[in-house]
Chain A
Amino acid sequence: MDGMAAATVAGKSSISLARVLADSFRRYHPDIPFFVLLADEVDGYFEPDSEPFRLLRLVDLGIPNLPRFRFQYSRQELMYAVTPVLLRHLLDQGFPRVAFLKQESLVLRELTPALELLRRRSIVLTPHLLNPLSGEAGAGRELNILQSGVYNVGFLGVAATPTARAFLSWWEARLYEHCRHDVAHGMHFEQRWLDLVPAFFEDVEVVRDPGFNVAHWNLPERAVAIDGERITVDGSEGSFFRFSGFDPERPSDITRYSSRLTMSNVGAAADIFRRYRTLLEAAGYHETKTWPYAYGYFANGRPVAEQARYLYRRLGDEAARFGDPFDTASSDSFFNWSRRQMGGLGRMKRYWWALHRVVREIRRALASPPVS
């Protein structure tokens, strides 16, 4: 695959997922370098050189005002928000084509058909669903997809073309401040923005292979069969499985996003979930999951509450006056300012946030888009 690159984003606590994904990818594509962007700090917890991937750090990527970016988002939001930055960086490094794979995935054979699309197209997307679902239960599942995005960021391919560059710089600009879970306002982290891609850019291809991007949202429609090492889905080669919402410590559940699906009702696919759990455990899942998130704490070790991130975000450009928001030494620091803002009394704080949540819910309920 002359010269292309593959990549994912992980935090320290999910590094075992990145290890499993990188190993599985390299098994079938030993010549393609696999990069992991750490949306976190190493802090001595692991040795980057002994990992099965090449480590990239946030500071390598030219993100403007990085301290602000790391502070305003939660761990999950940050991981998603850096996706376009990672792809842009790898194109800047001279890779002619780059494939992004989300961390909770497993490669089960060559991804060549999907990767080859990038020789002809600027942008390659994968949808959650390939066909209409049936009945009212189907409508409910389709509505879930309309809330979270037609295309799934489990896989995303770009080629070094002006179109893909334009796509990445637009997506990066949007995610700088608008990578949040706010369905009523049209956002589902980084993902819903992709719904606009086929309208905004010519030269977009959608992977329509039932063996690719198999996950809880399409498992009920996909017939998975296993014969030794060979996995087929609807008769097509099973190449790429996704484990969105899977918790290795709850081995009878497939995903926390659906109570309908369990190990006992997904047929042969259950075996793939079991294999994945075994691989995660062998990759140090139980140890790494406890590793702390570097941007989860102020400089003095106090945890950064969700409310503090929210308050900081609301300040917009005004927040610049605080300098590094993790800093706690100066009386002009965000830490000290926000404590004064939220008041000394724990009870008052709780009232303030309860009220804030009510107001936010009302705003969401009233959100009415202008349209046709």
Chain B
Amino acid sequence: MKDLAVATVVAKNYLSFARVLAQSFLRHHPDIPLFVLLSDEVDGYFDPGAEPFRLLRLADVGIPDLPRIRFRSDRKQLAIASKPHLLSHLLDRGFGSVVFLDPDILVLSDLEELFAWVRRHAIVLMPHLLAPLSGQGSVERELNILQSGVYNGGFVGVSAGWTARAFLTWWGERVYAHCRHDVANGVYFDQRWLDLAPVFFPGLHVLRDPTYNVAHWNLPERSISITETSVTTDGRPCRFFHFSGFDPDDGHAVTRYSLRLNLSNVGPAAELFRRYRRLLESAGHGETKAWPYAYGSFDNGIPVPDAARRAYRELGEAAGRFGNPFETASPDSFFHWLRRRGALRS
């Protein structure tokens, strides 16, 4: 059995993030395969053979009902909803353990300890916060986590076996039908579903270690120190940093999710954000960010508005009669159905 694989998922416009993740990971683990699932089409924009990762396509990973889910979901939803299928696929290929990392993660030192935890447990998750918060804004920050999910979906580790399979099947079904931002109804993309996982799957291990998954939501509680060659968290080597919500084109913010934090008040961590920006730029961020989303337009080039995706979702099974929803030639197409209802401008 092949031992372990690491994987992430991106659309083309995030390809530079996947490159930086892959380079940072392979520097420490050159022998562990890193897979990138493209929730998009290559369309000649890059050469998969020249990338520092192994490319997977949606058609490879067995997502049910692919033509429809590409239309039902927007770019972000499709990438997120693919995660359980990506992990199942790599288990199917014979990997004993699989680790998912969000594309906006930077690996800073070797992950051997983490891999040992994953090998020993059917499922490993990491909480956003490791202890009650104190001080200003602590209640609001904890409530934000209750709204979005106790465990961060940016890391998921699984090991082959019945428990991991049952988890991935359940999670895959839930995110297929419910992967949206709807906090009042208990949904925050794929992430709030994970709150139920420790109860539903007793083999699950909650990894509580401040050196992993350092990000805007726990940065105020982490003491970061940076030298030329190392990054430490609370005095120990920082394993990986998660730049959730970071926009390299915004020179001051560290995340679009928090107004409190910016480069001038995060202390030494600011240097890490600046380094990450330089890495993204060297990885072609300026170019890749403009690459178009293949499932963002009908086949005649007209952009698919969110309202069209919503209408398609609401049709449920009845949407099947339209065949490929991106197609526009036939008068029986979904495109013409929308147009007849005045939902698309001519």
Is there a chain A Cβ closer than 8 Å to B304's Cβ? no
Please determine whether A147 and B199 come into contact, CB atoms closer than 8 angstroms. Answer: no
CA distance A146 to B174 in the complex (A): 13
Main secondary structure of the interface of A (DSSP, over half): helix
Is there a chain B Cβ closer than 8 Å to A66's Cβ? no
Please determine whether B196 and A142 come into contact, CB atoms closer than 8 angstroms. Answer: yes
Chain A: interface residue total (CB-CB under 8 A): 43
- Of chain B, the residue at the smallest CB distance from A364 is B184
Q: Which residues of A contact B128 (CB under 8 A)?
A: 199, 372
Please determine whether A372 and B153 come into contact, CB atoms closer than 8 angstroms. Answer: yes
* Range class of the B interface residue count: 35 or more
Main secondary structure of the interface of B (DSSP, over half): mixed
CA distance A66 to B184 in the complex (A): 32
Q: Which of B147, B177, B181, B217 contacts A185 (CB 8 A)?
A: B147
Q: Which of A144, A178, A208, A371 contacts B257 (CB 8 A)?
A: A371
Given contacts A150-B196, A186-B143, A186-B144, contact A371 B184 (CB under 8 A): no
Is there a chain A Cβ closer than 8 Å to B85's Cβ? no
Please determine whether A206 and B199 come into contact, CB atoms closer than 8 angstroms. Answer: yes
Please determine whether A185 and B186 come into contact, CB atoms closer than 8 angstroms. Answer: no
- Of chain B, the residue at the smallest CB distance from A201 is B131
Tell me, rounded to whole Å, the shortest Cβ–Cβ distance linking B36 to chain A: 19
Is there a chain A Cβ closer than 8 Å to B226's Cβ? no
Is there a chain B Cβ closer than 8 Å to A41's Cβ? no
Q: Which residues of B contact A196 (CB under 8 A)?
A: 129, 132, 142, 145-146, 150
Please determine whether A174 and B153 come into contact, CB atoms closer than 8 angstroms. Answer: no
Please determine whether A370 and B245 come into contact, CB atoms closer than 8 angstroms. Answer: yes
Is there a chain B Cβ closer than 8 Å to A131's Cβ? yes
Is there a chain B Cβ closer than 8 Å to A355's Cβ? no
Please determine whether B146 and A195 come into contact, CB atoms closer than 8 angstroms. Answer: yes
Per-position binary interface string of chain B over residues 128-140, scored 1 when its CB falls under 8 Å from any chain A CB and 0 otherwise: 1111100000010
Q: Which of B139, B150, B177, B199 contacts A130 (CB 8 A)?
A: B199
Tell me, rounded to whole Å, the shortest Cβ–Cβ distance linking B38 to chain A: 21
Q: Which residues of B contact A195 (CB under 8 A)?
A: 146, 150, 195
Tell me, rounded to whole Å, the shortest Cβ–Cβ distance linking B76 to chain A: 12
Please determine whether B148 and A371 come into contact, CB atoms closer than 8 angstroms. Answer: yes
Q: Which residues of B contact A146 (CB under 8 A)?
A: 186-187, 192-193, 195-196
Is there a chain B Cβ closer than 8 Å to A107's Cβ? no
CA distance A333 to B139 in the complex (A): 30
Per-position binary interface string of chain B over residues 172-215, scored 1 when its CB falls under 8 Å from any chain A CB and 0 otherwise: 01100110010111111001110110111010001010000001
Tell me, rounded to whole Å, the shortest Cβ–Cβ distance linking A122 to chain B: 14
Given contacts A200-B130, A372-B242, contact A143 B185 (CB under 8 A): yes
Please determine whether B146 and A199 come into contact, CB atoms closer than 8 angstroms. Answer: no
Is there a chain B Cβ closer than 8 Å to A359's Cβ? no
Please determine whether B215 and A144 come into contact, CB atoms closer than 8 angstroms. Answer: no
Interface residues of A, Cβ cutoff 8 Å to B? 127, 129-132, 136, 139, 142-147, 150-151, 166, 170, 174, 177-178, 183-187, 192-193, 195-196, 198-200, 202, 206, 208, 364-365, 367-372
24 contacts between A and B (CB under 8 A): A129-B196, A130-B200, A131-B200, A139-B178, A143-B185, A146-B195, A170-B132, A178-B143, A186-B146, A186-B147, A187-B143, A193-B146, A195-B150, A196-B129, A196-B132, A198-B127, A198-B206, A199-B129, A200-B132, A370-B144, A370-B216, A370-B217, A372-B215, A372-B244
| Given A130-B200, A195-B150, 5 other A-B residues pairs in contact with their CB atoms under 8 A | A147-B185, A198-B127, A199-B206, A367-B183, A370-B216
